[in-house]
Amino acid sequence: MSAIIPIRESDLEFDNGTFDSAGFAATALSTWQALAAVIDHTLLKPDATRAQVEALCEQAAKYRFACAMINPIWVPTAVHALAGTGVPVGVVVGFPLGASLVSTLRQEAASVTRLGAREVDMVLPIGQLKSGNHQAVHHAIHAAANVTHYNGAILKVILETCLLTVEEKLRASEIAIHAGADFLKTSTGFSNGGATPADVALLRGVAGARSGVKASGGIRTLADVRTLLEAGANRIGASASVAILKELGAE
């Protein structure tokens, strides 16, 4: 029988520190520059070309986004394009299904961080979570976290909230934090739903100030961003990043 990672009542009552969602949102939305600093500028479509990745990096450097988020194959290209800019490269692993072997996750995380990625977004083992094998979920995240942190990067764990029950979202959030996640993340953007204010608020309720919360999936307008920041996100993942900044006055 698999070990159960308990959700303590205290974990859900903000005794792990509080996060000022309203204050953070107000600061992030005060200027387009402040907003850019909390957006992961994202290009994950399977048919993305080298030219498109290079254009994404050029935009990331111009607007000073939190990172340029790309698929693993493009890490060397993005690292080269962003060299000297101070804008980090972000990359997805175990993506988008959350069905990789732990050894594969570990190797992927090691490879991309050694190549220069500084942020790693992994999909947790969704099927294992829904099967009740919480120890396997913890093991997978912990393995990726160890490698990622050892190589000087941070780990965001994608829950794919649209596929989970409320209980599973709570359980996954607690497991991910205990396993070493730096951020809880809502969605891949490749399933049947994306970020919602309710899910962001739920993730922040579990996290308190212990980890970040990244909202991603279906975020296309400044109004979307405002709602999700006010719900508790402190990082946004979007491919419509430049258009969103232009709504706030960027050129």
Catalytic site residue from 156, 169, 182, 214: 214
Catalytic site residue from 11, 156, 169, 185: 185
| Tokens representing residue 95 in the block | 């993506």
SS (H, E, C) 190-207: CCCCCCCHHHHHHHHHHH
214 catalytic? Reply is: yes
Q: Which amino acid is at 2?
A: S
The domains found in the chain, sorted by start residue, are 9-247 (3.20.20.70)
Catalytic site residue from 121, 182, 199, 224: 121
| Tokens representing residue 84 in the block | 């000297």
Query: pLDDT value at position 17?
Result: 85
Query: pLDDT value at position 131?
Result: 98
40 catalytic? Reply is: no
Query: pLDDT value at position 15?
Result: 53
CA 52 to chain centre: 21
Q: What is the pLDDT along the chain (251 residues), one digit of tens a residue?
A: 344 455 444 444 445 789 999 999 999 999 999 999 999 999 999 999 999 999 999 999 999 999 999 999 999 999 999 999 999 999 999 999 999 999 999 999 999 999 999 999 999 999 999 999 999 999 999 999 999 999 999 999 999 999 999 999 999 999 999 999 999 999 999 999 999 999 999 999 999 999 999 999 999 999 999 999 999 999 999 999 999 999 999 99
CB atoms within 10 A of CB 215: 32
How long is the chain? 251
Taking a C-beta distance cutoff of 8 angstroms, is the pair 2, 133 a contact? yes
Taking a C-beta distance cutoff of 8 angstroms, is the pair 7, 171 a contact? yes
Give CA separation, 63 vs 53, 179, 251, in Å.
Answer: 15, 33, 9
Work out the angle between the directed axes of helices 134-150 and 166-179 (0-180°, nearest 10). 40
Residue 214 phi/psi, 5-degree rounding, is: -110, 125
Taking a C-beta distance cutoff of 8 angstroms, is the pair 91, 71 a contact? yes
